Structures are given as structure tokens and as C-alpha cells.
Amino acid sequence: MPAQPFTYPVAAGWIRSLASEPAPYEPWPVVRWDEKLLEDQIRFLDAQAELGVIYNRVFGLFVGRDWPAPFDPKTVIDAQREELLLRFMDAAHQRGIKILAGTGIYSWGFETIIRNCPEVRSAGSNKQAMCFYQPGSWDWQRRILDYVMDPKWGADGISMQSADQGRCGCDRCQNTPRPVYHAQLLIRCAQYIRQQRPDWVIGQASWGLNMDDPNDLPHFQRIAEAVDYMIEVPDRSARTEPPTRKKLISSLNCAVGSVGGVFVSPAQHWDRLRYFLPHGLRTAQALKDLYDDGGRASEYHYRLFANPGDEVSWRTGAKILSQPDTSPEAALRLALAKVYSVTGSTLAQLADWYTRSEDAYFTRAAFSVGDGELNLEPLVWQDNPSMPGPPIYLRDRLTPEARADYAKELGKLKKEFTDLAIPDPELRRRTLAGVDGTLADIAALA
Ligand SMILES: [Zn+2]
């Protein structure tokens, strides 16, 4: 009998993290929505439907860092955004995909509210996180939840994040142990949502809150009772000595998961063909390991399908979510056959080429699967957040010697690729452009 699919396979990202057009001169995260983005989203939904990834969690459906204050539900988004949003929801539902609204809990989205509304602040409070102990904070959080839960948007659930931007710095908040603090925030919100929308899926991702200390388990167990799935970020419990993830998962009364193997964070500012970094085999293996540990959820992050290496890698991992007993190698071949329209010996050669291209980076780089995101450029670049950032995946994770050696290997791989019988000239061009982009960045670092 084939293995049961993941219960919560969730494609996930900020709204533009799948955009074919970069936003080179705006600080991250840009949440601009236009026809071109909707087209990219629909292409992504098609791949999800094909691969059985039946949830999609979007951050930035309505706003980026700032819910407005004062808050008028009629003017939070304009008519054009509302129309795009409704068309997106409709396209998802037509394909059997449910949309979860990525939502910050007491942080993410509250910067203007914190600035304008003293009733959510305390002495020493954080610019990005409301104070838990100010009664005005819950009023604001509830207002946002009510807005997101409005049936007119058509969302099917929510995924909550409370810890990514730290928490209020007042003495009372700081004196509350972190897991206790976040458990009370998340449980209060989950219970409120459940009451209003019993039909909704409720997820939670632990960005900023480690889950691997066994002493904290009772707090995570309480969260698990209130939600449908929990995502551990990064996969720390799988990396302790000895690993404790299996025990963690079996102790929590909800589906548990990860962000899905090698999470190459989409580079908002960059040209989509500036890099070629296949990572599907390692991602697929990580998802299989998660499944073997009892994991049945993943917020499996978007990739940029305008970059063929990214699309192949995303598809390779996605296959595991619906058919966990697929081997990574078989998943890679299926992805390549689909993206490059190749069969037979060309497919075998291309699979071998992709395998060696993936190994070429990961056998040389200081990166361990499950140890957080792999950023191509910095997500938020302090020097100048409105400009494309430097290629830190090459600069910081490879020694100069390893970089030179990697460039040599890529040069060889490039030559081999030109000998492959890839039928689609545009895909040939885009693949080679990515390899050239990486080589140019390495050359500039030398
Ligand atoms: Zn506080």
C-alpha cells in the first residue's frame, strides 16, 4: 500500500516570493499585486494541483509591515487589490487548493499601529511587537483577525507567526519565559479564530521560537491542542545529539512539520537568472526524513519558477509531500521530465547533470540541511535595503579556494550541458544564463 500523503502540504511564502519580475529597488518584503503576479501565482497553483500540494499560505495578501491605524475595514485594500485577491482565491478553489492567510500575531504588520496607538505600547517596548500586557493590544489583534476572517475574502484558514520579530521589551513581557509568552498569544488567537470560523484550518510556524528544549514541551503541547499543525523552524530537534524530533512529534497532538529541506529564500531584488542552484534531492530527502519521524505538515516555501533550477527543485520536493515513498532520484526525474520535456537517455543524462550540479555547491558549502534558510542575497540588507544585495551564498558559505574549485566544476558542467539534446531552446538559454550568473558572481568576488 502506498504511503499516505502529508496531511498539511502547504506551499508558503510572501506574496511576491514566486514573482517572475524582481523588485530591485524596494525594501523587502514588497507586497505589490498586479496582473503579472497573478499570472505567476496561477502558474504556481497549477503545479500545486498537479503535485497534490493542496494548501497555499500567503503572507502579504492585504498588507506588508503595516496594518493601517486608524483602521477602516473599507479602505485597507483598494478595489484593484480586492479584485486580484478574489480572482486568486477563485483560481485556487477551482484547482482544489485552500488558501491560508499568513498572519502576524502581535508582530508582523503592527508597526504603524505601535507608532500611532499608545494603548499597545509599554516602556521599553519593541517597534515591531505589541505589548502582551496592554489591553489595547488584544483589541487591535482581534480587529485584524476579524478582518482576515471576513468570509468575503474566501480564505480557508490562517497560519500564525508570533515570534519572528522578537517580543515586547517591557519587564513584564521579558520576565515571562518565551515559550509561555508565545503559547498564551497563540492559544488566545487560535481559540478566538476557532470560535468564529470552526471551518478554518489553523497553522502556526515557530520562526524565532526554538522547539527543541524538552523542558518547554508542556507549552508546545498546549499550542498543539489549539491548532491543526505546527511548523518547527529551523529543524533543530532533528539535529540534536541524539535527535529528539520523533519524540517531539509524537508528543504533540497535531500535525507537525518543517519548512522543507533546503529552503533557498527567493531573492527579491535579483534578476531571476542570476544564479543556478539546484537543491531538490536534498530537499526531497529531508522531507522523507521528516515523514519517517512522523511529520505530516510542511510549509514548503515558494521558489522562483522563472529560474529552471528553482522550479525543478521545488517540484522534486513537492512530489514527496503527496507520495512520501517516492525516492528523491525518481522525484527529480519526474520534475525534469515535466520542466524540460525530455525522456529516455536525455532525461537520464540531465538527471545525472542536475545531481552533479547540486553536489557541486553543497559538497563545498558551509550549509547543513535543516539549519535555517539558505539566502542568496541578504533578506534585509542593512547597508541599503532598497538595492540588490551581495551574493552571500557564495561569499559567506564558500572559502575562496572552494569558490574557485566550484567555478571550475561549473565551467565543466556548463560545457556538458551544451552537449545535451534539450529540445526547448528557451530552457537551454535560461539554464545556461543561470550558470553564467553564478560564474559572474564568483568572478566578481575573486
Ligand atoms: Zn510588554
Distance 230 CA to ligand 1 centre (A): 25
Distance 137 CA to ligand 1 centre (A): 10
> Residue 130 sits in which domain range?
8-338
Distance 344 CA to ligand 1 centre (A): 62
Question: What's the pLDDT at 370?
Answer: 87
d(CA 133, CA 107): 14
**Beta strand extents in 302-422 (DSSP E only):** 374-375
Question: What's the pLDDT at 383?
Answer: 74
- Distances from the Cα of 135 to the Cα of 121, 142, 150, angstroms: 10, 11, 23
The model scores a pTM over 0.95: yes
In a domain, residue 332? The reply is yes
In a domain, residue 257? The reply is yes
In a domain, residue 381? The reply is no
Q: What's 242's DSSP letter?
A: S
In a domain, residue 320? The reply is yes
Distance 127 CA to ligand 1 centre (A): 11
d(CA 213, CA 158): 26
> How many domains are contained in the chain?
1
Q: Cell numbers of 5, please?
A: 500523503
Question: What's the pLDDT at 3?
Answer: 92
Question: What's the pLDDT at 380?
Answer: 82
**55 CB contacts (<8 Å, ≥6 apart)?**
8, 9, 10, 11, 97, 98, 99, 100, 156, 157, 201
Q: Cell numbers of 43, please?
A: 502558474
Distance 165 CA to ligand 1 centre (A): 14
Where residue 161 sits, what CATH number does that domain have? 3.20.20.80
Q: Which parts of the chain sit beneath pLDDT 70?
A: none
* Single-letter amino acid, residue 282: R
Residue among 276, 322, 365, 353 nearest 47 (CA): 322
Distance 254 CA to ligand 1 centre (A): 29
In a domain, residue 158? The reply is yes
Residue 327: CA atoms inside 13 Å, Cβ hemisphere, count?
A: 3
- Distances from the Cα of 347 to the Cα of 263, 266, 328, 344, angstroms: 25, 27, 15, 5
d(CA 100, CA 105): 15
Question: What's the pLDDT at 379?
Answer: 86
In a domain, residue 174? The reply is yes
Distance 120 CA to ligand 1 centre (A): 9
In a domain, residue 154? The reply is yes
Question: What's the pLDDT at 116?
Answer: 96
In a domain, residue 359? The reply is no
